[in-house]
A and B are shown apart, each in its own frame.
Chain A
């Protein structure tokens, strides 16, 4: 299932959280060779994880991490502006209706359609919170994956070539895209909306027990 968790809620799902940070190390450091920091616990974390981002995590049947991404509003510090600002023509992407997705990650043992499920969560977020776009940074191999999943970004700028090419792109909200991604991922929209409502809807879990 898809879980939507702010950083300050991850402690309630320790196995899932640890798996996510370890799989990020595996994907970005070991497999892609990116210049990212891996700590002594084998976890990849950076300064954006300190800003209480929202994580979307695909939880496998056994409770382990299948894949995930990290979300921050572009009104605050975000990688598309801080690190890759030169790729968008000097004009920062900054709107309360655009959120940034980074660290799109899949575990080695991820079940099929995990990537599609995570993409679908982006659609649920845009629809549920009235956003117009999601912005993201991605490497060359993701372009094909996005196409297969059924939702390709508008590329704003790229640098590097071949396998090392990195791009900044925007996904506009589109109901048709959402439905296509859901269909290809084999997840009914009703189920996907239920997961979203579980996190943010009237029956959402609560943060502090104030009566304690």
Chain B
């Protein structure tokens, strides 16, 4: 295995992978070849179950799961329902909980720079592929300019492989909720009051009730709580 980054070699390695461990080995070789700190492939389903491979330390991966950090991670929140690649610089790192999360991450060896590629899979499947490193903004800009396009391709190959050997995890019902319904249900699932949700979405509480009711009807749920639970378990929203 050469040390230099070679896109076709990475794609070939991915093609030959058939287990999560093998994907992890590809991620590690890719990280080494790119001379960066970390590579992460992260598939989050609506029930909050997380799947993927990472070169982050085990202690960070464990802490992330234990603390349910995916609920406040600006990378997850900023990429959900998006399809353009995201430089972590463009995300919202303000807020007390988020700053504490970032501090914790840095202490566990997560680099200060990141480039994340959201992936929209079948039926609303959502995964993220991230390159992470510690360096200056200028160096990171150069890195993205040089490797951004290759990383997008690699991200989709990772996801294609994961979908291939994790058939059971694939969401089977098509995404039925509209973007506004998803926003409303997501914020409710996060514990916001109706007034707070209406305020956050810049809509009246009356309009919010319409969204909640239409989401409830689409999900065949008995009440709002049931609708939130159903949306979560079907992977329609992520909190």
Contacts and interface: CB of A to CB of B under 8 A. Distances in A.
A106 interface: no
B188 interface: no
Nearest to A202: B89
B90 A200 contact: yes
Contacts, number: 82
Interface residues of A, number: 32
Interface in A82-116: 96-97, 99
B152 A208 contact: no
Interface stretch (A6-14, A149-157, A183-191): A6-14
B88 to A, nearest CB: 10
Nearest to A73: B83
B41 to A, nearest CB: 14
A73 B153 CA distance: 13
B205 interface: no
B149 A130 contact: yes
Interface string B179-220: 110110001000010001001111100000000000000000
A11 B179 CA distance: 11
Query: What 4 A-B pairs have minimum CB-CB distances, sorted nearest first?
Result: A130-B149, A8-B179, A206-B92, A211-B95
28 contacts: A6-B81, A6-B82, A11-B201, A50-B178, A50-B179, A52-B81, A54-B83, A72-B83, A73-B120, A75-B119, A76-B83, A96-B153, A97-B149, A129-B84, A130-B148, A130-B152, A202-B87, A202-B89, A203-B90, A206-B92, A208-B187, A210-B92, A210-B95, A210-B97, A210-B98, A211-B94, A211-B96, A212-B196
Interface of B: 72, 77-78, 81-87, 89-92, 94-98, 119-120, 148-149, 152-153, 155-156, 178-180, 182-183, 187, 192, 196, 199-203
